[in-house]
Structure 1
Amino acid sequence: MNFSEDQVLALAPDDASRKAGSALASPGKWVSKGINELALWGECQGSGSKPYQTQIDLQSIAFKCSCPSRKFPCKHGIGLLLLNSRQPALFTDSTAPDWVSDWIGKRQEKAIQKEAAPAKPVDEAAQAKRQQAREESIEQGINELLTWMKDLVRNGLLSLPEKGPAFMEEISRRMIDAKAPGLANQLRLLSRINLYQEGWQSLFLEQLARIYLIARGFQNRETVNPLLKEDLSSAVGITISQEELKQQAGITDQWLVIGKQLQEEDQITTDRTWLYGLQSGKYALVLQFIVRGQGLQFSLSTGMVLQAELVYFPSSAPLRALIKSQQPIREKPPIKGFSGWKEQLQYRAARFANLPFQLETPALVHQVRPVQYQGAWWLQDQENHLMPLPTNYPSLWKLLALSGGSPLDLAIVQKDDRVEPLSAFYQQELISL
């Protein structure tokens, strides 16, 4: 696959790696370099007597380097991939050295063994007992949460700014103790609302209502359809085994990476990758959780197209998925999307009818442009309908520069009543925002 320079730099873990990797994207830095359909490799002369051996698995976009860096990918991986994207004609050697072919062979062998490994026997009685104990713990936590919420509403919201962050942190920690981390995360979203901004009460009540809906729904989970029951379990924090999920048949398609979002909290980075199926028209969210010092299972950047099989987590409005198998491809077919905000909102409403507490909805929307109206920035479609951008949207100036006053095709994520652009199509390339 041919990577653009922006796609390569988007793979870097931080700005320092981007800068250092860019400095290494020079032919003089590399003692050897080569590429074939499986791997890209090179030897970079560092300060030591032996050059660093850098290699990239092109089938699953994985990196390895003999340097001591704990970043993934390291600056050598970024530099090598960047050099290949700029000057592919320099990579004339297609015969992989032993240190590359051995690594690729071990990765392939490990993947085959993982698929062929017999499933471990499950003690169903013990599993059911553990599940019952956890659900009872969650039920107790939910009872306390509902009492807390009722007291909050009875006493009124106006005194909330005086209570300070500890007021929210205490009930959030209680949900962790009750083995309901999903509810704890929802409460953290509640605590992040700025209680000194205009109209905070509406935002607070909307999130409070979402938490109440999840809590009461979980209490009544036996009365809803099986897929909504899975949604409620996931919302409170009961996860499904990914290995078990991979045994299920998925959807094979050409998946376009339409955006990435990184969020770091408590030394854990959440990598959120948004995908769009070019044939199926389906959207997907792939999550990776990275502990500091560890690398990504796979590295994807905005604009890449994968021939991949995705398996969705069970849901009444499927969105989160895992990648069962993948390989990058070169060509991409025409991109479909919504003609404007009316069509996009109809799609969002249909999803909410199935899953009313879903927070985010991705979409591709054609021909919208940023405009200023009543002191705020909006996205205007061809029928002059407006959707607001988030307050203090960080990539506003990049969006304005790409648009230049003209409409663009955008990949967006809508949360509540606002839309956040993830990427923009510009001169037949998908540019990350």
Structure 2
Amino acid sequence: MTEQGVRWTADQVLALAPDAASRKAGSKLGTAGPWSGAGRGATGAVWGLCRGSGSRPYRTVVDITGPAYSCSCPSRKFPCKHALGLLLLWAADADAVPAGVPAPDWVEAWLEGRKARTGPRGGKGDAAKPVDAEAARRRAAARAARVTAGAEELERRLADLLRGGLAAAEQTGYGLWEETARRMVDAQAPGLAGRVRELGAIPGSGPGWPVRLLEESALTHLLDRAWLGVDRLPGPLATTVRTRVGIPTPAEGPPVRDHWLVLAQYDTSDGKLTTRRAWLHGRETGRTALLLSFGAAGRAPDLALAAGTAFDAELVPHPGAGQLRADLGERFTAPVPGGGPPPGGTTGDALAAYGRALRDDPWLDSWPVTLADVVPVPGADGWQLADADGGAALPVTASALGRAGLWRLAAVSGGGPVTVFGECGHRGFTPLATWSPDAPGTVPLT
């Protein structure tokens, strides 16, 4: 434990790196040798001077509560290798970054400047420019018209697909799909573009691909028709449709304050953008929330939450039917060990929860659930999570089969029942964290 709460692990630090080269370079700076004047403050700042090739050491400071970084080096990567090295030094040895050391003037100046630039929720303060409501309305209307044109074009593409027969999709190749996806991007409908790329990857993907192509084409058609009639939909569902086609909706409504347990955090990437997902559970409210953070152009996602920790904070929910996404607002405490898992149910309860969620959002791939008293069981067709009382079982998704976390889950279980949090969907169950009755604490599986 430190003044900032729980000290990060090396894996959590390296997850911030924008690329493999930064991870390697930062690891070399994670020892005390190149550092001097290191220290940490009660408000979440870690700083130090790193010896480089020049005559003056690089001034490096990290605000762990953000996280946010500053370094006097010329690197364009964010965070740079010096920030990663400083955090690795702190993660490995708290004594090497001692507390109670007065912060240098350059650290105080950066922290004060950061505080002035951001509001209580990390957004812009009162100095933000006023919004021109009429100009915003015109921009929204123009974008909606472009999305409508894109949806109509995609409907024609789907009609051509069915008219020519699904079997022909394997011969046409991926090029036509990619061209259609680019046109959806031009129409400012990135959600539709993503669905088109998924459709293009299905032909020839293995046994049963025509069935999968028909299913996904039907869902894409449903989204198209929903957008074309969005003005006639109920408000929450209309917001969900707008989000699915790629029109962002800001967080709104009253903030929800709770002691939030970090259930899991993991990254996905499409080659251009890294998306970091963090699942939280509110101890008092019982709510589950999803925090998203993005990184591109040499930047890692800013969000960094240690699984198994908990903190007192406000979350601002996003609108929409069945939406769990929220933005992190003001934090009132540092993260501390969070204790046991949220309440769980059977595999049947998990499927029922996913089914109810689909009524609000038919395009939902999965839903967060906690399984209680399940046993990981290997089989000829892959792993399953089976109810300990001999009831039903859920197949583990193919995306999770190659992860080391699956073997970690088996080791924690040892053949006995455990509690598992993960995402339950039509492809199966993806385990993200587990708890054993014989040992306290969260075991991350990502």
TM-score, length-normalised on structure 2? 0.86
Q: Quote how far apart the aligned CAs of 1:342 are.
A: 1.5
| Alignment match of 2:81 (pick from 75, 85, 101) | 75
Pairing 1:373–2:383 present = no
Corresponding residue for 2:284? 279
> Does residue 1:99 correspond to 2:106, yes or no?
yes
Task: Kindly provide the amino acid, as one letter, of the partner of residue 283 in structure 1.
Answer: T
Q: Which residue of 1 aligns with 2:7?
A: 3
1:227 aligned to which of 227, 236, 246: 236
Displacement after TM superposition at 1:295 (Å): 5.2
Point out the more displaced range, 18-27 or 147-156. 18-27
Which stretch shifts more, 292-301 or 182-191? 292-301
Tell me the CA shift for residue 298 of structure 1.
Answer: 4.1
- Note the residue ranges of structure 1 that are not aligned, 5 or more in a row: none
The 10-residue stretch of structure 1 (6-15 or 356-365) with the greater mean CA deviation from structure 2: 6-15
**For 2:270 and 2:426, how far apart are their aligned partners in 1?**
23
Q: Whole-Å Cα distance in 2 between the matches of residues 175 and 146 of structure 1?
A: 12
Q: Return the offset for 1:265.
A: 3.3
Deviations 1:151-175 (A, max 9, x none): 3223321121111001212322232
Distance 1:111 1:4 in 2: 24
TM-score after normalising by structure 1: 0.88
Residues 337, 363 of structure 1: 8 Å contact kept: no
How far off is 1:320 after superposition?
Answer: 2.0
User: Paired residue for 1:411, among 408, 416, 421?
Assistant: 421
**1:196-245 deviation line (CA, Å, top 9, x unaligned):** 401112222221121111111122222221111111111122223x4xx4
2:8–2:91 Cα contact (<8 Å) kept = yes
Number of equivalences:
428
Quickly say closer, same or farther: Cα 1:431–1:18, change in 2 above 3 A.
farther
**Residues 383 and 8 (structure 1), Cα distance of their counterparts in 2 relative to 1, 3 Å cut:** farther
Q: Which amino acid aligns with 2:358?
A: F
Question: How far apart in 2 are the matches of 1:379 and 1:423?
Answer: 13
Amino acid at match of 1:117: A
Instruction: Note the 1:215-364 alignment, pairs <5 A.
Output: 215-240=224-249, 242=250, 245=251, 248-265=253-270, 267-294=272-299, 296-326=301-331, 328-364=334-370
* Aligned residues of 1:37 and 1:58 also touching (Cα < 8 A): no
Provide the residue aligned with 2:126 in structure 1. Answer: 116
Assess if the C-alpha contact under 8 Å between 2:276 and 2:303 holds in 1. Answer: no
Whole-angstrom CA distance in 2 between matches of 1:106 and 1:74: 20
> Are 2:40 and 2:99, in contact at CA under 8 Å, matched by a contact in 1?
yes
Please give the per-residue CA displacement for 1:62-108, whole angstroms capped at 9, x wherever unaligned: 22222333333333323322332332244144311111111111111
Supply the RMSD in Å over aligned alpha carbons: 2.7
CA distance in 1, matches of 2:238, 2:225: 12
Letter in 2 for 1:138: V
Aligned partner of residue 403 in structure 1, secondary structure: helix
Structure 2 residue 359 is matched with structure 1 residue 390 = no
Query: Distance in 2 between the 1:84 and 1:121 partners?
Result: 42
- From the superposition, tell whether residues 231 and 42 of structure 1 become closer, same or farther in structure 2 (CA, over 3 Å): same
Distance change (3 Å), C-alpha of 1:128 and 1:60? closer
The answer to whether the Cα contact below 8 Å between 2:18 and 2:299 also exists between their aligned partners in 1 is: no
Equivalences for residues 124-135 of structure 1 within 5 A: 124=134, 126-135=135-144
* Equivalent AA in structure 2 for residue 400 of structure 1: W
- 3-state SS of the aligned residue for 2:241? helix
Aligned counterpart, 1:49: 55
Give the deviation of 1:264 after TM superposition.
3.3
Which amino acid is 1:147 matched to? R
2:94 to 88, 91, 99: 88
Pairing partner for 2:164 from 138, 155, 163: 155
Q: Is the 8 A contact 1:42 1:54 kept in 2?
A: yes
Describe the shift of the 1:304–1:76 C-alpha distance in structure 2 as closer, same or farther (beyond 3 A).
Answer: farther
Distance 1:219 1:367, change over 3 A: same
- Deviation, 1:314, is 0.9
| Aligned CA distance change for structure 1 residues 398 and 98 (closer, same or farther; 3 Å) | same
**Contact 2:262–2:307 (8 Å) recurs in 1:** yes
Structure 2: state its 5+ residue gaps. none
User: CA, structure 1 residues 187+372, in 2 after alignment: closer, same or farther (shift >3 Å)?
Assistant: same
Contact 1:278 1:335 in 2 (8 A): no
Amino acid across the alignment from 1:280:
T
Match of 1:204 in 2: 213
Give the Cα–Cα distance (whole angstroms) in 1 for the partners of residues 418 and 27 of structure 2: 29
- 1:11 and 1:251 map into 2 onto residues whose CA distance is 27
Query: Letter of the aligned partner of 1:317 in structure 2?
Result: G
Identical aligned pairs, as a percentage?
33
Over 3 Å counting, the alpha-carbon distance change for 1:71 and 1:129 in structure 2 is closer
Q: Give the structure 2 partner of residue 13 of structure 1.
A: 18
Of 280-289 and 13-22, deviating more is 13-22
Decide whether aligned partners of structure 1 residues 368 and 177 sit closer, same or farther in structure 2, where only a CA change above 3 A counts.
Answer: same
Residues 417 and 202 (structure 1), Cα distance of their counterparts in 2 relative to 1, 3 Å cut: same
Residues 269-278 or 211-220, more deviating: 269-278
TM-aligned CA distance change 1:280 to 1:176, over 3 Å:
same
Q: 1:369 to 1:71 in 2, by over 3 A?
A: farther
